[in-house]
Amino acid sequence: MAGIVYSNSFLKAFFFDPSPGRDLSFPELRNILLSLDHDSLCTLGSNSAILSSRFHVPVGGEARYVEYIKRLGFRPSNSRMRNKPMNFRLHSVTDHEIESGLIKVERSSIGISVTVPDEMLGLNVLQLWMNRILALTRNYPVGVAKIFEYYEEKGEGTFFYLDISDGGEEHEDDISRHSHAFGYCRNRNSHNIGLIPDSYTLHDLEYGSTESRWRSKEDAAQDYAKRKKQLFWRGSTTGRPPQETIETNRRIQFCIEALNYPDSFDSKITNVVGIGEINTTYKKLLRKKITAAPVTEDEFEKYVAFVDLDGNTAAWGSLRKYLLMVHVIKPESGYTLFYHPTQPRDTFTSVGHESEIFERSKNDPNFLDNFEVAWRGYNFAMELLEKVINGEATIFPE
């Protein structure tokens, strides 16, 4: 099968036929993926729900995400980004030239060439890298082009390495070994890794608009005044195995403490990741009464406040809370996302540790309810999306 270029018609017949088909072996799947042309890869990546049902790849809230976008009233107006994808082809290496979680992006005659470690072509991680690579090439062509231009002007080649994992400390040593290194997140003390907008932000721009949802600040204030006067949080544990425990996980401990203040806090765990055996851990959390079902993104818009809590790295989805005009409260973090270096301090409320939030809310009944900060945060996020569209949001290594 290697060497054949499969077309969209092949994909529709083979991958998306509603009738059940035979299971693919890993070598067969690998050869197909490496032979697909750009349009076919995009078709495959944009139909992740169908891909999931055919190959039983778990899909993380795709339908819920689309509903969130509809609730925001976003319209597909950013044609500058979506209509000019960068053509790309996949390659793989098996000799550990590239560590797991990293990809190599090179300029090529067709657009760009993406080289991935061979193990990333397995079904258990297929959707993860497919969505993140496609977000990079479909929604951020100006930014990628600027990275190439930056290194070409310095006479340092036409490639860069990108950590498409969650980043942070886990892969920092690996990516630091390479020149021209970028990631979605980095350790707060590291400056030799560049930052690009994370895939959550790029995904938002697939449907997003940079037109304000409110006619005026007064309209926005009236909307905000109708919300529940509580801090609302839902999320997974996202611990760091094997050392992470229930007692050391910041998100779990925050939810446990929130039970003492039911009038002001509604914080629950929706999924167990990276902490012990999943079923055992979940049963323990269930007994502590801090579990809940996942919610749609627009559920956060019904409340006045949100806490931006680190997991195994900085929380990528927190930028969406700014777009919902929620008052974001940020405990000290050990990680940096692409927008943190330029974010004004008055667009969120900073606290030293998340435990401080409970103390301050006890002493000040209006601490959580802060429209002015929420409004500034919303406008910052909207301006930030425009910068991403214009390719101005990349942070180059120092």
Q: Are 153 and 129 in contact (CB under 8 A)?
A: no
SS3 226: coil
The gap between the terminal CA atoms of the chain, to the nearest Å, is: 44
Q: Tell me: do 271 and 380 sit in the same domain.
A: yes
Q: Please identify, among 176, 205, 234, the residue that sits at the C-terminal boundary of a domain.
A: 205
CA distances from 141 to 82, 111, 163 (A): 9, 10, 17
Q: What are the structure tokens assigned to 383, written together? A: 């301006």
**Predicted TM-score of the model (pTM):** 0.80
Res 201: pLDDT: 82
Res 127: pLDDT: 60
- Strands 111-117 and 102-108 turn out to be antiparallel
Look at residue 394 and tell me if it is in a domain: no
* Residues whose CB falls within 8 Å of the CB of residue 271, separated by 6 or more in sequence, listed in order: 235, 236, 237, 294
Q: Tell me: do 338 and 382 sit in the same domain.
A: yes
Res 38: pLDDT: 63
Report the candidate in 28, 72, 30, 21 with the shortest Cα–Cα distance to residue 50.
21
Q: Tell me: do 47 and 83 sit in the same domain.
A: yes
Res 389: pLDDT: 77
Q: Please identify, among 182, 205, 228, the residue that sits at the C-terminal boundary of a domain.
A: 205
Q: What is the pLDDT of residues 84-117, one digit of tens each?
A: 556 777 777 766 666 667 888 888 877 788 888 7
Res 367: pLDDT: 97
Q: What is the pLDDT of residues 199-210, one digit of tens each?
A: 778 777 765 566
Res 6: pLDDT: 42
Overall domain count for the chain: 2
Q: Tell me: do 305 and 366 sit in the same domain.
A: yes
Res 112: pLDDT: 82
Q: Which residues of the chain have pLDDT under 50?
A: 1-24, 48-83
Look at residue 14 and tell me if it is in a domain: no
Q: Tell me: do 259 and 221 sit in the same domain.
A: yes
Q: Tell me: do 263 and 118 sit in the same domain.
A: no
- Strands 327-331 and 303-307 turn out to be parallel
Look at residue 344 and tell me if it is in a domain: yes
Q: Please identify, among 190, 205, 220, the residue that sits at the C-terminal boundary of a domain.
A: 205
Q: Tell me: do 180 and 310 sit in the same domain.
A: no
Q: What are the structure tokens assigned to 176, written together? A: 């630091």
Res 86: pLDDT: 67
Look at residue 6 and tell me if it is in a domain: no
- Judged on CB neighbours under 10 Å (0-12, 13-18, 19+), 269 is buried
- Residues 245 and 281: their CA atoms lie apart, in Å, by 9
Q: Are 194 and 185 in contact (CB under 8 A)?
A: no
Q: Tell me: do 64 and 170 sit in the same domain.
A: yes
Q: Tell me: do 216 and 270 sit in the same domain.
A: yes
Q: Are 213 and 159 in contact (CB under 8 A)?
A: no
Look at residue 334 and tell me if it is in a domain: yes
Res 183: pLDDT: 85
Q: Which domain holds residue 107?
A: 24-205
| Sheet of strand 194-195: strand arrangement | 88-93, 111-117, 102-108, 159-163, 181-183, 194-195
Q: Tell me: do 299 and 180 sit in the same domain.
A: no
Q: What are the structure tokens assigned to 16, written together? A: 């998306």
- Residues 163 and 117: their CA atoms lie apart, in Å, by 12
Q: Tell me: do 170 and 256 sit in the same domain.
A: no
Q: Are 87 and 106 in contact (CB under 8 A)?
A: no
Report the candidate in 18, 1, 7, 79 with the shortest Cα–Cα distance to residue 44.
7
